[in-house]
Each structure stands twice: as C-alpha cells, then as structure tokens.
Amino acid sequence: MSDKQWRVVHYINQFFGQFGGEDQADMGFVLKREPVGPGLTLAKELGDDFEIVTTLICGDNYFARDPEERSREAHALLKEIDPDLLIAGPAFAAGRYGVACGAMCKRAVEEMGIPGITGMFEENPGVALYCEETFICETGDSVRDMLPSLKRITRLAVQLLKGGENPRLVCRENLPSPQEFEYYSRGVIRNEYTPESTAERAVRLLLAKIKGEHYVSEIVPERMESYQAPAPIEDLDQCVIALVSDGGLAPKGNPDGFSGRGNLVWSTYEVESFFPEDEADQEYEIVHTGYFPDQVIEDPYRLVPIDVLRELKAEGVIAGIHPAFFSTSGNATVAKRCAHIGEEMAEEMRKYEIDAVILTST
Amino acid sequence: MIGVKRVLVGASITSPLGNPMLPREAEKSLRRAYIEKALKILQTDVSTCEIFHL
Amino acid sequence: MKLEIEYLDILSVESGEETQIEDHTLILNTDELERELLKDGRLASVDIHTICPGEHVRVLNLLDVIQPRCRLGDGASNFPGFVDPLQTVGHGKTRALRGVCVLVSNPHTQRKYSAFLDMSGVAGEMSRYAGQIGISLSPHPAPAVAERDFEDAVKIAGLRAAAFLALRGEGQPVAETEVFDLDIPFPGASELPRIAYYFQLYSPQHDHLGISDPIFYGTQVRGLRPTLLHPNEILDGGVVGAHTIRSLDTYTVQNHALIRELYARHGSELIFAGIVCGVAVLDPADRNLNAQMAANLAKNALGADGIILTKIHGGLPHVDLARVAEECEKQGIKTALFNQPLISKGRLPETVPFTSDMLDLIITAGATLERIRVPLSADTFLGGDENTKIYSPDPVIQRAGDASIEVEQFLIAGVHDLLGGSLIVVKNY
C-alpha cells in the first residue's frame, strides 16, 4: 500500500461552485483550496490515495468566449500547484460547460503533462471537439446521473494513475479500454490480444454472413460525404492551372521535412527553379516509401507534367501555369489529415487566380 | 476515389504520366494525351464520382 | 490429395560429432551443416549459432524463419525449385520438427528494412519464435556474386538447412500426426457451404532493385494470372515467404492458419472448396482482368458460396484485394477480406483504402505498423552487430545496440501473421 497521495485539481462552473446560476455565468476564475459542491462526493469516491488540493471555479460564459485563452489563463493559475491529475465537471448536456471542461483537460494534457478526465452526455458538443484530446466519460443528460458519473470518472482516474500496462494491448500502454471504462473513443487504433485467432474469426463471421445470421464486421466502412462538384471550366484559354502531387517530390535534402510514411506536411516549390526550362541538372528526391521511385527521379515530369503544360501555354490552349507547384507525400496518412492538407492548400490557392487544379498521385 | 468527382486513371503507380518503356518523345506525347484528357474532364459537368480513362 | 505431417518435438539442442536427433535433443555439428549449405557455390561461408529462449540475443537482418521439415520417401523433393528438383508437393508424408526454427539472416543486406528477433525482453515476449530454439544462419557471399543472386542463395540456405535438420529425425518417435486430406468434392455433393480462399501471394511495389523474390516452386510470380493451387502444396513447401518477412515468413506459410482452420471445419461446417492464388499489380487494366479471372475461377471452377481473402503487407495490396472481392460479390460469392490498419490515430473506418458498398465484412489482420518501444535486452548480436541500423520511418538513426529502440511491430518476426495465425484484433480506443 503506497502512501503516495495523488494531487487533483477539480474544475467546475459557477453553478456547481455554488456561486449562482446564469446570473453568475460571467464570473472569472476563483480558486479554492478544498473540494466544493460535487467535489466533496468526488473526494469521497477517490479515497485516501487522492487529494483534491484545489477547486477552480469559473463562469460558463466567461470561459466560452475564448476557451483557448481561458484555459491558458487557468494554466497560469495552476502552475504552482503541480497537480498529478485534472478532473473537470462532469458537464452532462451543458454545452458551454462541456467545452470549458474539454479545453481545461486538453490544456492539462498538453501543457502540464498530466491526465485530464471529464464527463459529458454524448450529444454535448464538447465530446466531438475534445474526445481525442482527453478522456471524456459517458454520462446521462442531467445531474441525476452525478453519482454514477463520478464513479466512472474515479474508476478511470484510479486506472490511469495507479494501474499498470493494459495486458490486453500489444503495445503495453496504460490505456484502458473505452468499452470497459465507459469513455468515448479517443480515435486511436490499437492491437488487442484476443483468444480467437484472425483465421477463426474470419471463418466464423463468413459462415454467419452466408447463412444470413447476424454478424458484425470488424471494420464498418464509411460512406463518404457527398458534396457538389465544382462547375466545369468554360473558357479553357483563360484558365490558369495549378499542379499538385502527393508523390513526395521534394528538393534534395528534403528541406521541409516530408516524412516517407504518415507524412503531415506540404509545401510549394517554384516551378521555374524546380523545373528549369533548359533542364539543367536539378536535384530531387522522393520522400515516399509506398512506391519504387526511380522512374519519377529519372523524369519528374512523369509525376508533375510541367513540360506538357508549358507546351499548352505556348500554344494558347491554357492561359497560364501557376508559378508554384504544391507538393506533399501521401502514404498512410490518416484521411482526416489528408483532408486538412487539401483545405490548407485550397486556402493558399484562393489567394491567387487559379482556375483549376490537376493533382497527380502515385 | 473516395468521394472525388473527377478522376482520371493514370498510366501506372510508379509513373502516373509516363511510360519508361517508350522513347522520350513518344512518352511526352502520351503525357500530353493524359493532360488533354484531364483538361477535357475539367470542362465536363459531373454530379457523381466519375472515373475516366484515357 | 492427402498429406500427413509427422511432428517430432525438440526440447533441447547440443553440439556433437554428427548432426542427429536423439531423445528430443537436436545434436548439431555446425561444420557439417555449413558444408551442406556451401554446396551452393554462391556462399563462401556461413556463421551458425544455436540460441535458446531467454538468451540475451538479438538476431538482425532476418530474411526468413523456417520450420525444419522434410518430405519422406524415395525421391521426395524438399522445397522444390529452391532446394530440390521440381515436383508437386502436398502428398505423402512430411516430417516436421516442433520447438526449433531456422533463422536465416542476410548480414550484407542493402534493403531499407529487415526483420529482427529478440530471444528475451519486450520484443521476445511478443514473438512466437522467441519461445523456440533458434538455429541462426548468417551466410557470406563468394566473390563476385551479385546482390540479388546472393539474397536468393541466403534464402535457399535457410530452406536447405530446414530440410537437413528434419532429415536427421529418422527413426525418432512421432509426437503427433496431422492429416490434411482433401479431394475437393464437386458442387452438389453436400449441403454445407463451399468456402474458397483467395491467397494474394505477392505485390510488386517492394521489389528490391526492381527484381521479384522467388516464392512459388522456386520462381517469382510478378506476372502470375490467377490460378488454382491445392492447399497441401502451400503447406508442404510449394510456396515460401518473401525475402523480408513483413509478417509473412516461410514458417507462417508452412503453418498457414487459415488453411488449417478451413481444414479443421471441412466436412462438418463447410466444404473447403479450394484456393485461388493471385498477385497484386500496378496496372489498373491488369488488376481488373485478374479480379475477374479470380472471381471466375472461384465461382465456376470451385463453386464457391463464400471466399476469404488474405493479403501481402502494404497499401496497394488492399486495393487489389478489394477488386477481387468486389468481382466475387458480383458473382454472388460472399466475401470476408483481411485488412491491416496502417495508422495508429484515427477511426477504424478511415483505415480502409477503398469504398465499396458490396464489401461489408472486413477482418482486421493486425495493425502491423503500430509502434513498440523495445529496451535493449541483448548483449549478443547475430546476423549483424550493435551498429546495424534498425529501420524507423521517422528521420532518426537507431542502431541495434541502442539502449532503447522504437519499431513498427511488423519488423519483429513472429508478432503479426498475415495468414490469420495471430491472436490479435484491432480496436478503436
């Protein structure tokens, strides 16, 4: 039995902090050196190994006006306290409170290097915004669920701080299962040991599918969101074309730090200097482990067709080529990040007169 | 192909707009054919994901 | 076709005057084994070490892991096309040694990454090979042998050693016999659902120096059109792993988990309808043709009601597999396909690099690129040394002797199994 006491900061809003209701929603931070309101029950649930050394109370409106800034302000207030854990809420269905709790936990994880745990109802907007940044326990939609929610938070807190490696995980992390500990998935993917081999599962599931019995795919593929296609170009000879590629083409030395797999960055390179018209020796490299790169290194036009575009421009088929080409490396990068990269590129493109984009992919 | 509306199938993974088996000029003509097709697709109205070939 | 595999259990290893097996002990004369391997003139010498579970050894630059096996009877060919002359395998009797495996390394490899194995510590605990006695081979090339030629010779040395060791088990008591007896009945012979298996053998995107590894009766399969194989041919040495493991070494093929599972249920829950083999390709027209041919064989030659599809490691192989599966579904064959999520952050549906309403049953066959931190527990290095680079996709240099390395799990031999043999499922956390 360890005599270590884990130091906990508890964040709550003006209502649970016993200052008042909506009328006090604009209040700023107040720090108390002991548990307050639901914090008293929380302290009892957490037991002797934990101590709520500080309760931080704040008005929902005050926080919601600028969660990033407010959480930064809170962090400054908590600096000397040096806690081991931050617990926020639970916020149930309250949206502003949920966002505040999520932002507080995220700040705790990122700046203070400690776990953050909160609790919310599934429809609370804080869940979608913060479930990947911190642990958000499932709760009912109202304060009637307070005690079960605090028990869930406690159970998770004890596991995170006192538990060891999760023996079910191949990578041996101390990461409890979302189903078992009743928190929303944090959007991470893990190998888990299981008693049934992949082959056994495959045969069992396929037999169920053939017999028309119930089966659950181990991955349920998503249908992609549909959107309106941009209208077609009308006057091609007035158009400026920009080129984009995810084949990992970069100047030798990879100055922008593309990664060969799971890459997260992109850059633009000036066409005139990267592909000089006289084709003087340029030094390229391919930063992409998903294909054999020699053919593109031998002739980068096979990836970024500047030579043909120059011809078409000279003939007046198109009006111009955007002076920079957009380059990234697309190999096992999670789809969401790919979408962000696309959005970032589009935002850059909007600064210029670009009428259409040709994107080449390996 | 996951939701993109205008897709043109390229020559190969290791050489999307080329063919190392061809002599240089012929390869450039092939590349031009792909780009001309791409420009045509950009001038085409599409409502669903369409996969075009050269 | 009927194949009987007779297993001998090996519990310990010793050195001795003459290589033999006695009382569950493998007695090994390493000079004798080396002489056997040097029959291949491409090798100048072979370093041979025996290692036991728990030892502080790290085996580097692993090219293959093989279970010692030999086919019995006059004129029987072992690993035909690789070691012995060509012959269809998968019938008769084969002897296998359990508890020991051959680990063959290429200490001169120029490949970007190779597998490794620790016999102790974090990586050892994860691997099914670390619990077995290992015969580690590190061949060295004869002068003027080209790189790819030497690689093939290294591969063959592993297979040759495997056969050599198993042959020494003559006259020893058999611990267990497994019978793989399958004459595929014609459709209509039974009410049970007919389940076929699509075995994606290979993908070209990793061909080192643009050359394909021979894996099929001694030949490479780059241009292979879909074809039919009997499962016993796969179990008995007709197919081997590629040169860099990637969770699919020869041992994994010899102990093909999905084939064994289909055999186990054949006649009681299903009819094992046979195997279509194919390869992934770069060219989309080829891909479509292969997909249609594979589906055609499954439907019309095998009469399949359902088909399970496995794949080679990599992203492109997912796409080929999905095309084959789609064509199968179009023919009315219900599919289950294997998938490796290749990212650690995201949601599982985002890891599927294809969209198809038809493909609604996806089996997770390991998140093979998941990272693991491995503190050093070895003081001896085989197949390389403490300066041997260990691959990382991040721009860092890490070496075999570093106090701690972070690796993607597919680089550790014996953790993941692309043919269904691992006890691992991938979940969203």
Chains that touch A (3 or more CB pairs under 8 A): B, C
User: Residue B1 pLDDT > 50, yes or no?
Assistant: no
Average the pLDDT over C142-169 and give the result: 97
What is d(CA C278, CA C239) in angstroms, rounded to the nearest whole number?
A: 13
User: B20 CB contacts (<8 Å, ≥6 apart)?
Assistant: A295, A298, A299, A302, B27
The confidence band for A192, taking pLDDT boundaries of 50, 70 and 90, is very high
The confidence band for C290, taking pLDDT boundaries of 50, 70 and 90, is very high
Average the pLDDT over A127-144 and give the result: 95
> So what's the ipTM on this one?
0.96
Interface A-C, measured as beta-carbon pairs within 8 A, has a size of 208
State CA A304 to chain mean position distance.
Answer: 31
pLDDT tens digits, residue range A163-187?
A: 889 999 999 999 999 999 999 999 9
- CB within 8 Å: A301 and B34: no
Average the pLDDT over C289-304 and give the result: 98
What is d(CA A72, CA A91) in angstroms, rounded to the nearest whole number?
A: 20
Best to test chain B binding among A235, A279, A298, A302 (most B CBs inside 10 Å): A302
Cβ–Cβ < 8 Å for A333, C345:
no
C209 interfaces chain A, CB cutoff of 8 Å: no
pLDDT tens digits, residue range A261-284?
A: 878 899 999 999 889 888 766 788
Residues 290-319 of C with CB under 8 A from A: 305-306, 308, 314-316
pLDDT tens digits, residue range C109-118?
A: 999 899 999 9
What local confidence, expressed as pLDDT, does residue C353 receive? Answer: 81
User: Can you give the length of chain A in residues?
Assistant: 362
Q: Which residues of B touch C284 (CB under 8 A)?
A: 9
Closest CA relative to residue B7, chosen from C10, A361, C40, C74: A361
- CB within 8 Å: A308 and B32: yes
Tokens encoding C119: 């016999």
- Closest residue to B14, CB basis, from C282, C354, C355: C282
- CB within 8 Å: C355 and B2: yes
CA distances from C353 to A212, A266, C287, C307, C317 (A): 27, 21, 16, 20, 10
Residues 1-54 of B with CB under 8 A from C: 1-3, 9, 12-14
Q: Which residues of A touch C370 (CB under 8 A)?
A: 170-171, 189-191
User: Residue C157 pLDDT > 80, yes or no?
Assistant: yes
Tokens encoding C218: 């001694």
Tokens encoding C376: 């050093």
In eight-state DSSP terms, residue A259 is -
- CB within 8 Å: B46 and A229: yes
Between helix A38-46 and helix A146-162 the angle, nearest 10°, is 40
Tokens encoding C406: 């972070």
Higher pLDDT, A2 or C423: C423
Average the pLDDT over C252-262 and give the result: 98
Largest CA-CA distance found in chain B, in angstroms, rounded: 38
What local confidence, expressed as pLDDT, does residue A279 receive? Answer: 74
Cβ–Cβ < 8 Å for C101, C135:
yes
What local confidence, expressed as pLDDT, does residue A4 receive? Answer: 66
Average the pLDDT over C302-330 and give the result: 95
Angle C333-C335-C336 from CA coordinates, rounded to 5°: 160
What local confidence, expressed as pLDDT, does residue C291 receive? Answer: 98
Instruction: Using DSSP, state whether C166 is helix, strand or coil.
Output: helix
The confidence band for C310, taking pLDDT boundaries of 50, 70 and 90, is very high
Average the pLDDT over C236-250 and give the result: 94
User: A192 CB contacts (<8 Å, ≥6 apart)?
Assistant: A168, A169, A170, A177, C424, C425, C426, C427
Tokens encoding A117: 């745990």
Closest CA relative to residue C342, chosen from A258, A333, A185, A290: A333
Tell me the nearest-neighbour CA distance from A208 into chain B, angstroms: 29
Tokens encoding A258: 């593309």
Average the pLDDT over A93-101 and give the result: 94
User: Residue C415 pLDDT > 70, yes or no?
Assistant: yes
Closest CA relative to residue C51, chosen from C96, C8, C15: C15
What local confidence, expressed as pLDDT, does residue C283 receive? Answer: 87
pLDDT tens digits, residue range C49-84?
A: 999 999 999 999 999 999 999 999 999 999 999 999
What is d(CA B44, CA A236) in angstroms, rounded to the nearest whole number?
A: 12
A299 interfaces chain B, CB cutoff of 8 Å: yes
Closest CA relative to residue C366, chosen from A310, A219, A82, A122: A219
Q: Rounded mean pLDDT of chain A?
A: 93
What is d(CA A284, CA C196) in angstroms, rounded to the nearest whole number?
A: 47
What local confidence, expressed as pLDDT, does residue A1 receive? Answer: 45
pLDDT tens digits, residue range A325-355?
A: 999 998 877 777 888 899 999 999 999 999 9
- CB within 8 Å: C282 and B12: yes
Report chain C's terminal Cα–Cα distance, integer Å: 45
In percent, the amount of chain C with pLDDT more than 70 equals 100
What is d(CA A189, CA A201) in angstroms, rounded to the nearest whole number?
A: 19
Name the residue in chain B with its Cα closest to that of A248. B14
What is d(CA C202, CA C214) in angstroms, rounded to the nearest whole number?
A: 10
What local confidence, expressed as pLDDT, does residue A225 receive? Answer: 67
In percent, the amount of chain A with pLDDT more than 70 equals 97
pLDDT tens digits, residue range C173-194?
A: 999 999 999 999 888 889 999 9
- CB within 8 Å: A335 and C346: yes
Q: Which residues of B touch A338 (CB under 8 A)?
A: none
What is d(CA C7, CA C28) in angstroms, rounded to the nearest whole number?
A: 19
Segment A311-315 long-range contacts (CB within 8 Å, at least 24 positions apart)? A311/B32, A312/B32, A312/B35, A312/B36, A312/B39
Average the pLDDT over A13-26 and give the result: 95
Average the pLDDT over C329-342 and give the result: 96
Closest CA relative to residue A160, chosen from A54, A87, A97: A87
What local confidence, expressed as pLDDT, does residue C193 receive? Answer: 97
pLDDT tens digits, residue range C34-43?
A: 999 999 999 9
Burial class of residue A356, CB neighbours in 10 A (0-12, 13-18, 19+): buried
- CB within 8 Å: C205 and B13: yes
- DSSP H helices, C132-274, are 147-167, 231-235, 250-254, 257-265
What local confidence, expressed as pLDDT, does residue A335 receive? Answer: 72
